[in-house]
């Protein structure tokens, strides 16, 4: 590593840490001030305390991740890298905090049921069925994003830069998949990590499209539910397209960053859909029950 390379990494790491600490202050100081004035109480206070604690722990997880890259390499030509598992933990923690903040923000900004609700047994059944389908789809999107963290941690995007086949042999599943451990190599080997990420991406695309097709003409759904439902497959198509372009371009930093932003955007869309279907007295399920 040259001195200029070290300076680039140093200032990037420094900026990342300072930005994280600044975010912590931007969250904690107003939260304490609002609590002292009695503006934050009950469940909201507990949730903000939990999110603040998660933010503090995120710094510890980041240190734990960086520490894994400071070990002496086994050979002089080895490139120091952080643990892919710890990188995935750091990313998962960041995504979890963001999604918690997003859901809390939506609850505060839109406390009542979504507009456009049409009561009746059909509406209640439709909302319940869509809600049951939305949660597994959201979990699948999260799992796909998690698998992408292992692709990034292993630099697996710099291999098999063809699509839809993997490698020059024209295989959808490369021969290296079994040579590198198959499912056991999901967190430690290039071919399994990329193959799993591709497979999960295809499954996510099919699942979001399938849910939209199944419920797009369902009568009685609120307008907000319909819009969130229609946005989900559109976001999935955009994210999949961006992923293919990133792979074929050998993962330039700009496209790699946009692909990560796309994953967060798709997760946000799933959380938005779940929010429109929320339970409780101010949620859509409660409103349907009252209409009955």
pLDDT value at residue 279:
63
Dig out the tokens for 240 from the structure. Answer: 């999949």
End-to-end CA distance of the chain: 69
The domains of the chain are located at 1-112, 116-292
**CA separation for the pair 158, 29 (Å, rounded):** 43
pLDDT value at residue 291:
39
This prediction has a pTM of: 0.86
C-alpha pair distances (Å), 63 with each of 21, 90, 125, 163: 13, 9, 47, 36
Contacts of 60 (CB under 8 A, 6+ apart): none
What are the mean pLDDT values of the chain's consecutive 10-residue runs (292 residues total)?
84 91 93 90 89 92 88 70 89 94 90 58 75 94 95 90 85 88 90 95 96 88 88 96 94 93 95 83 45 38
114 near 284, Cβ under 8 Å? Answer: yes
Cβ-count burial of 128 within 10 angstroms (0-12 exposed, 13-18 middle, 19+ buried)?
middle
**CA separation for the pair 101, 125 (Å, rounded):** 30
Dig out the tokens for 287 from the structure. Answer: 């409103």
241 near 247, Cβ under 8 Å? Answer: no
């Amino acid at each position: 590593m040259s001195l200029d390379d070290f300076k680039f990494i140093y200032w990037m790491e420094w900026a990342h840490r300072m930005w994280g600490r600044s975010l912590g202050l931007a969250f904690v100081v107003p939260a304490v001030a609002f609590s002292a004035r009695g503006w934050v109480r009950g469940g909201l206070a507990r949730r903000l305390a939990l999110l603040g604690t998660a933010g503090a722990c995120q710094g510890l997880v980041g240190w734990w991740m960086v520490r894994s890259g400071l070990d002496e390499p086994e050979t002089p030509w080895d490139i120091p890298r952080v643990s892919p598992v710890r990188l995935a933990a750091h990313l998962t923690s960041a995504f979890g905090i963001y999604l918690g903040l997003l859901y809390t923000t939506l609850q505060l900004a839109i406390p009542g049921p979504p507009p456009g609700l049409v009561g009746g047994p059909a509406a209640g059944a439709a909302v319940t069925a869509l809600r049951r389908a939305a949660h597994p789809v959201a979990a699948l999107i999260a799992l796909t994003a998690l698998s992408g963290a292992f692709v990034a941690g292993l630099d697996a995007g710099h291999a098999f830069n063809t699509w839809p086949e993997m490698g020059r042999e024209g295989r959808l599943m490369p021969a290296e998949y079994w040579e590198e451990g198959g499912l056991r190599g999901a967190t430690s080997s290039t071919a399994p990590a990329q193959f799993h990420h591709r497979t999960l991406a295809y499954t996510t695309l099919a699942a979001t499209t399938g849910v939209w097709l199944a419920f797009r003409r369902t009568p009685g759904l609120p307008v907000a539910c319909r819009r969130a439902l229609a946005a989900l497959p559109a976001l999935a198509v955009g994210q999949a397209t961006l992923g293919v372009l990133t792979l074929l371009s050998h993962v330039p930093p700009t496209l790699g960053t946009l692909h990560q932003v796309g994953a967060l955007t798709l997760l946000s869309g799933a959380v938005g859909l779940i929010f429109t279907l929320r339970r409780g007295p101010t949620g859509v399920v409660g409103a349907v029950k009252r209409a009955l």
